[in-house]
Amino acid sequence: MSFARTRVKICGTTNLSDALSAAEAGADAIGLIFAPVSKRRIDAAAARQISLAVEPSVGRVGVFLDQSSEEVLRLADATRLSAVQIHDRYSSAEWAELASFYPVVRVVRPADLGQIDVPALGSSITLMLDAPQPGSGQPLDWPALAPAFPAGAWLAGGLGPSNVAQAISALRPAGVDAVSALEVRPGHKDPALVRAFVEAVRRADGPSQR
Ligand SMILES: O=C(O)c1ccccc1NCC(=O)[C@H](O)[C@H](O)COP(=O)(O)O
């Protein structure tokens, strides 16, 4: 059986140097966290500078928690995002409104699996399974989650160069997302770890997908 190439998002990018080195390493997207609670929060001016500096093929995904859909749309427009990632529980109308403006990554927890009508989401909403505490570096129990893992969903939660191949093999996610395992301190990446992460994903995909 052949699989599509696993997409890679490097989350919690707070500065231009980390954004450019993630792009150079071959990341498909960078994550810019606007959640007020995050120790990796970026302000709108810095996010916009990064969005305009990376090459257009690199996605700029804004990450939001405890923020209204109006604030999400305002920041997405102001900072030239290509997609928004939402850790909140919105109403159906709010999801539909957001998805009419931007591709949406809707974050779900293990307890949510099996309770979401995946076909009804439509093509603008992609699910991402993450640990209950975002950005905490806690891996999930991938084999236990395999029966309920939705086709086409992304995976986050404690992924890094040393375990991402195991996670890909267990769940075959469409994309993977990581932050804690790639940092020297919160908000600052180790470029060697970012490169090692992208390379580990490419190796896990196999030679036909590189
Ligand atoms: O990382 C944060 O500080 C954060 C805070 C609030 C909402 C979201 C946050 N991160 C978003 C992500 O998508 C992380 O990359 C994801 O949870 C994986 O993190 P990690 O387990 O540290 O790799």
Could you tell me the residue ranges of all domains in the chain? 7-205
Instruction: Note the pLDDT tens digit of each residue in 152-196.
Output: 999 999 999 999 999 999 999 999 999 999 999 999 999 999 999
Instruction: Note the pLDDT tens digit of each residue in 99-134.
Output: 999 999 999 999 999 888 888 888 899 999 999 999
Under 8 Å between Cβ of 186 and 39: yes
Residue 45 makes CB contacts below 8 A (sequence gap 6+) with none
Measured CA to CA, the distance from residue 200 to residue 210 in angstroms comes to 11
ipTM: 0.98
- Does any ligand 1 atom lie closer than 6 A to the CB of residue 87? yes
- Does any ligand 1 atom lie closer than 6 A to the CB of residue 177? yes
pLDDT, average across residues 63-77: 96
pTM across the whole model: 0.95
Of the candidates 144, 183, 149, 179, the residue with the CA atom closest to the CA atom of residue 164? 179
Measured CA to CA, the distance from residue 47 to residue 51 in angstroms comes to 6
Of the candidates 49, 55, 51, 149, the residue with the CA atom closest to the CA atom of residue 102? 51
Of the candidates 40, 110, 47, the residue with the CA atom closest to the CA atom of residue 81? 47
Asked whether the predicted pLDDT for residue 25 surpasses 70, the reply is: yes
pLDDT at 120: 83
Q: Whose CA is nearest to atom 1 of ligand 1?
A: 135
Measured CA to CA, the distance from residue 158 to residue 135 in angstroms comes to 8
pLDDT level of residue 4 (50, 70, 90 thresholds): confident
Of the candidates 144, 64, 147, 168, the residue with the CA atom closest to the CA atom of residue 107? 64
pLDDT at 179: 98
CATH 3.20.20.70 assigned to 7-205: yes
pLDDT at 2: 53
- Residue 208: other Cβ atoms inside 10 A: 8
pLDDT level of residue 208 (50, 70, 90 thresholds): low
Under 8 Å between Cβ of 183 and 202: no
pLDDT, average across residues 187-210: 91
pLDDT, average across residues 41-66: 97
User: What is the atom index within ligand 1 of the atom nearest the CA of 41?
Assistant: 3
Residue 174 in 3-state DSSP? coil
Active site residue 11: yes
